[in-house]
């Protein structure tokens, strides 16, 4: 069976995707698949036609790779492919719209709204502390945490890759938690302890940038709620394959909030990082699924259409 592994691409997360794609291709070769690696270009249809795969493994990250556009190409191409389909991918990548859906499902999400990027460079859209983030990117790129009411962040005006509209969210303190959903089931809760002040891009992808505690040392009530909400969000968007949902839990003992009110869901990722040390493979390994077997499962889960 020939598997085409899509990697690289031309988003700001190209380098991350190259690492994921290389690791997944190696794992699939170990499992006996005939693997061809495709560094995705604007001529993807031609690349796929030349490769003539039985299955397409999507290891792309960022815009074009996980926002529904490549999924649309794969729907037209007609070969079974991995991860979520067009609609789920587009919704999950749009943080603002996916938060509306999560909130309607009873999942706590940070208060926030969209604002023109130029406006944020002139005045504060809400009282600090708050977070400024792109509405349609992953990997914690171009995220600003505004802690004080000093001057607004003027250089954000030059961050064209963030898009014309940016997402403003109330800053949520507390523990960073993440949950993998695989085959419709949540498989574990990891606490992420970054070495920097928060879980930024370097913390995610630099060696030693963060420590992973699995299982997370939190109350069972909080852990169960993370697992429940991750599955609920996965199903609400119509996701397939594997997803990873990220949470913040304010464990301040002085807080008057209940444990459930102290937990918020930040976002859902339909194309999680896929190296042997990434969060999803770590959780899979904890329940006895090796990285190679995880990649095999993802391939065997592939369908068309998604």
The candidate with the shortest Cα–Cα distance to 125, out of 136, 110, 111, 113, is: 113
- Domain match, 139 and 183 both: no
Rounded Cα–Cα distance for residues 304 and 306 (Å):
5
281 lies in some domain: no
Rounded Cα–Cα distance for residues 110 and 101 (Å):
13
Residues 211 and 283: beta-carbon distance below 8 Å: no
- Domain match, 73 and 105 both: no
User: Which of 28-42, 138-152, 247-261: highest mean pLDDT?
Assistant: 28-42
- Domain match, 121 and 34 both: no
The candidate with the shortest Cα–Cα distance to 144, out of 171, 178, 175, 114, is: 171
- Domain match, 129 and 193 both: no
- Domain match, 103 and 144 both: no
282 lies in some domain: no
For residue 246, give its domain range: 92-109+173-270
pTM of the predicted model as reported, rounded to 2 decimal places: 0.91
pLDDT of residue 204: 52
Which residue blocks in 128-237 are alpha helix, DSSP H? 201-205, 220-237
Q: What is the total count of domains within the chain?
A: 3
- Domain match, 8 and 28 both: yes
pLDDT tens-digit readout, 65-114: 999 999 999 999 999 999 999 999 999 999 999 999 999 999 999 999 99
Domain at 61, CATH number: 3.40.50.20
pLDDT of residue 294: 97
- In the predicted model, what is the mean pLDDT of the chain? 92
pLDDT grade, residue 198 (50/70/90)?
low
pLDDT tens-digit readout, 165-195: 999 999 999 999 999 999 999 999 999 998 7
């Amino acid at each position: 069976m020939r598997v085409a592994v899509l990697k690289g691409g031309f988003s700001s997360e190209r380098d991350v995707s190259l690492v994921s794609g290389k690791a997944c291709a190696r794992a699939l070769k170990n499992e006996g698949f005939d693997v061809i690696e495709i560094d995705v270009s604007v001529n993807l249809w031609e690349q796929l036609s030349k490769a003539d795969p039985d299955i397409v493994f999507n290891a792309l990250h960022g815009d074009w790779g996980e926002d529904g556009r490549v999924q649309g190409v794969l729907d037209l191409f007609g070969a079974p492919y991995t991860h979520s389909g067009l609609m789920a991918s587009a919704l999950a990548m749009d943080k603002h719209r996916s938060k509306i859906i999560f909130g309607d499902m009873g999942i706590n999400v940070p208060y926030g709204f969209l604002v023109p990027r130029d406006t944020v460079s002139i005045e504060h859209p809400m009282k600090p502390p708050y977070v400024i983030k792109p509405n349609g990117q992953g990997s914690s790129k171009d995220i600003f945490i505004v802690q004080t009411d000093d001057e607004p962040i003027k250089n954000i005006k030059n961050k064209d890759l963030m898009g014309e509209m940016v997402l403003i969210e109330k800053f949520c303190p507390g523990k960073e938690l993440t949950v993998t959903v695989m085959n419709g089931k949540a498989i574990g809760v990891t606490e992420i302890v970054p070495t920097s002040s928060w879980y930024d891009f370097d913390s995610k992808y630099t060696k030693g940038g963060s420590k992973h505690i699995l299982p997370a040392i939190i109350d069972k009530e909080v852990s169960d709620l993370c697992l429940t909400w991750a599955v609920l969000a996965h199903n609400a968007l119509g996701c397939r394959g594997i997803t990873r949902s990220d949470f913040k839990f304010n464990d301040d003992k002085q807080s008057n909030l209940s444990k459930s009110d102290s937990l918020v869901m930040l976002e859902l990722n339909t194309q999680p990082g896929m190296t042997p040390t990434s969060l999803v493979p770590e959780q899979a390994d904890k329940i006895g699924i090796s990285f190679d077997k995880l990649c095999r499962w993802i391939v065997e889960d592939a369908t068309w259409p998604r």
